[in-house]
Amino acid sequence: MLFGYARVSTKDQNLHMQFDALQKYGVDEKNIYSEKITGTKKDRPAFTDMLKYLREGDTVVVYKLDRIGRSTKHLVDLINDFQEKGINFVSINENIDTTTAMGKLVFTIFSGLAQFERDIISERTKSGLDAARARGRKGGRPKKDQSKLDMAFRMYDSKEYSIQEMLDATGVSRATFYRYLEKRSS
């Protein structure tokens, strides 16, 4: 049986492209496990749930390697665990299929390259932030004007304004409003 796993790192991103690719590959929609959580998190509930259903002969399909593995070591350990249990692995984007010797070789090479790419991005980001700090810039998201957020929430709580009217009046973006609304209700 084919099982799909799709993941994006933030709630603002969507899973449509991954779902489309998994279904085109042949994964039934009811067998696709998805979540919006950073890949660096150890606790990924949908992923853990999928693992409970895997049996010998099943195949786990992902759109890209970085959707399933937190690091090269984690990815290699995971695929080795799958192989010990007789579970196959397919990464559509990298054209990896561990049922073949070539697929196993390609997996090993690509997992090393994926880790290398993450390390390079991390190094560039750190260097860029260091250079910006040296020039007096802080980096990160700019802080929102609390008075505008407060006004947006007063308008929201009054139930007299549509979301769009409220956003237009305060200048707060939709994503920012919903992010703060989620924090507020937690």
Place of tokens 């603002």: 12
Residue 186 annotated as catalytic: no
Exposed / middle / buried, residue 71 (Cβ in 10 Å: 0-12, 13-18, 19+): middle
50 and 32 Cβ atoms separated by less than 8 Å: no
Q: What is the predicted pLDDT for the residue at 4? A: 96
Residue 61's SS3 state is strand
Q: What's the CA angle centered on 152, arms 168 and 12, to 5 degrees? A: 75
* 0.85 surpassed by pTM: no
60 and 82 Cβ atoms separated by less than 8 Å: yes
List the domain boundaries for the chain.
Answer: 2-116, 146-185
Of residues 78 and 139, the one with the higher pLDDT is: 78
Q: What is the pLDDT of residues 10-49, one digit of tens each?
A: 787 889 999 999 999 999 999 999 998 877 777 889 999 9
153 and 176 Cβ atoms separated by less than 8 Å: no
The domain made up of 2-116 has a fold known as Rossmann fold (3.40.50)
Cα–Cα dist 90/96, whole Å:
5
Cα–Cα dist 92/20, whole Å:
12
* Residue 51 confidence class, pLDDT cut points 50, 70, 90: very high
Q: Which of 9, 127, 158, 186 is catalytic?
A: 9
